[in-house]
A and B are shown apart, each in its own frame.
Chain A
Amino acid sequence: EIVLTQSPGTLSLSPGERATLSCRASQSVSSSYLAWYQQKPGQAPRLLIYDASSRAIGIPDRFSGSGSGTDFTLTISRLEPEDFAVYYCQQYGSSPLTFGGGTKVEI
């Protein structure tokens, strides 16, 4: 199975700053089949990005995804107060589908 390693584990930033989150796969993710989700405490995850770089409907353009092969990045260009949350990457290039361990973005 493909193991996804997210870094850093925690990112301490201020509103208005840029956040760069990394997701590294143990083997190549076929067709850039990688998604990113945001989860706030007590809530279900929310889809942000799919196919590595396509924004989901209703997601602000300050969120962007990039990468291919084994290295993927989620960038939040200017953090808003509501962006402080945990972010997970997920690959769907091969079964079983797997998630990274998450990156917490905190103030």
Chain B
Amino acid sequence: QVQVVQSGAEVKKPGASVKVSCKASGYIFTNFGISWVRQAPGQGLEWMGWISPYNGNTNYAQKFQGRVTMTTDTSTSTAYMELRSLRSDDTAVYYCARDSSSLGPKWFDPWGQGTLVTVSS
């Protein structure tokens, strides 16, 4: 079945970086995009950006420009999201999701199980 499975929880200090992985299976990885969405504790959903595994094109939300890098490894069908210069308000569950389109971000299905990133000194 189609699924995306994420790496485990992380604890980081302010100023550090975190890299979350998202391994896809059950479909042709390069035929669909990958979007990243985060959810702070008790809060709503926030889209961070999208990447096309087909050609590496990215579309980042302006809020994260300069601080986030999304990449893919087509040999292992894995997507990565690196967030730098972490602050306490980056504490959140980070989700990857298969995007319906390889041309630009649209709707997301399925979602990974989420990766809790805690930023604390």
List residues of chain A with CB under 8 Å of any chain B CB.
33, 35, 37, 44-47, 50-51, 56, 88, 90, 92, 95-102
Q: Are B111 and A44 in contact (CB under 8 A)?
A: yes
Give which listed residue, B35, B45, B106, B113, contacts A33 with CB less than 8 A: B106
17 inter-chain pairs at a CB distance below 8 angstroms, sorted by A residue, are A35-B106, A35-B107, A44-B97, A44-B111, A44-B113, A44-B114, A47-B108, A90-B47, A90-B107, A90-B108, A95-B105, A96-B63, A97-B47, A97-B61, A99-B44, A102-B44, A102-B45
Further 19 A-B residue pairs, CB within 8 A, beyond A45-B95, A45-B108: A35-B106, A37-B108, A44-B111, A44-B112, A46-B110, A50-B100, A50-B106, A50-B109, A90-B45, A92-B106, A92-B107, A95-B59, A95-B104, A96-B47, A96-B62, A97-B47, A97-B50, A99-B44, A101-B44
List residues of chain B with CB under 8 Å of any chain A CB.
35, 37, 44-47, 50, 59, 61-63, 95, 97, 100, 104-114
Give which listed residue, B62, B63, B107, contacts A47 with CB less than 8 A: B107
B100 shortest CB reach to chain A, Å: 7
User: Hey, which chain A residues are within 8 Å of B50, CB to CB?
Assistant: 97
A55 shortest CB reach to chain B, Å: 12
A90 shortest CB reach to chain B, Å: 7
B26 shortest CB reach to chain A, Å: 13
A9 shortest CB reach to chain B, Å: 11
B34 shortest CB reach to chain A, Å: 13
Q: Are B61 and A50 in contact (CB under 8 A)?
A: no
Q: Are A50 and B107 in contact (CB under 8 A)?
A: yes
B43 shortest CB reach to chain A, Å: 9
Given A96-B61, A101-B44, does the pair A46, B111 have CB atoms closer than 8 Å? yes
User: Hey, which chain B residues are within 8 Å of A92, CB to CB?
Assistant: 105-107
With CB as the reference atom, state the residue of chain A lying closest to B101. A92
Inter-chain CA distance A77–B45, complex, in Å, is 25
With CB as the reference atom, state the residue of chain B lying closest to A45. B111
